[in-house]
Amino acid sequence: MDDLVVLRVGTKILIPFILLFALYVQFHGDYGPGGGFQAGVIFAAAYVLYALVFGIGNALRVMPAKVVYACGAVGVMIFVGTGFVTMGLGGVFLDYNVLAHEPSHGQHYGIIAVELGVLVTVFGVMVAIFYAFAGRRRLDP
């Protein structure tokens, strides 16, 4: 890959914008199309692009496989944990109204929390599946 200068430089220019767009999709999900799932996929796409151009070895140094697997589980825990927090505060499971004094503010916090959980899970799962495929190399005859 050392000779593909245009590809490497182009990727380096693109990746920050893709990551920024993923954050926009995540935090703008309340106002326009988008949300945790789409943002997670776009995050993963940026990361997979990096792995494709700079090699799976470098990608594994940025984020080892164990970290990615943990992401997949932590996101679900954030989502379910939000439900338990609302139960602890006296509401029912995933009733965000109790998260703040004003019910609508509570809804905002709750939605941000669960969307974060979805983002983390989707990112972790997409990258984990990519690792699983890319980690198996075909032996040439």
Partner 1 sequence: MIEFVDVALLVLLAITGVTIIRLRNLFAAVMMAGIYSLLSAALFVVMDAVDVAFTEAAVGAGISTVLMLGTLALVGHQEKKPRRPAIVPLFVVLVTGGILVYGTSQMPPFGHADNPIHQHVAPYYLEESEHDIEIPNVVTSVLSSYRGYDTMGETAVVFTAMVGVLLLLARGPLPRRVLLGGEWRTVRPGTTREELRAEAAHALDADGSDGDGSGGTTPGSPGSEDIVGEQGGKHG
- The length of the chain is 141
Q: Which residues bind partner 1 (CB under 8 A)?
A: 25, 29-35, 37-38, 41-42, 44-45, 48, 52, 65, 69, 72-73, 75-76, 79-80, 83, 94, 96, 103-104, 107-108, 110-111, 114-115, 117-118, 121-122, 124-126, 128-139, 141
The distance of closest approach from Cβ of residue 131 to partner 1 in the complex, given in angstroms and rounded to an integer, is 8
The distance of closest approach from Cβ of residue 3 to partner 1 in the complex, given in angstroms and rounded to an integer, is 21
Q: How far is residue 13's CA from residue 68's CA, in Å, rounded to a whole number?
A: 24
Residue 43: other Cβ atoms inside 10 A: 24
The distance of closest approach from Cβ of residue 129 to partner 1 in the complex, given in angstroms and rounded to an integer, is 5
Cβ–Cβ under 8 Å, residues 51 and 133: no
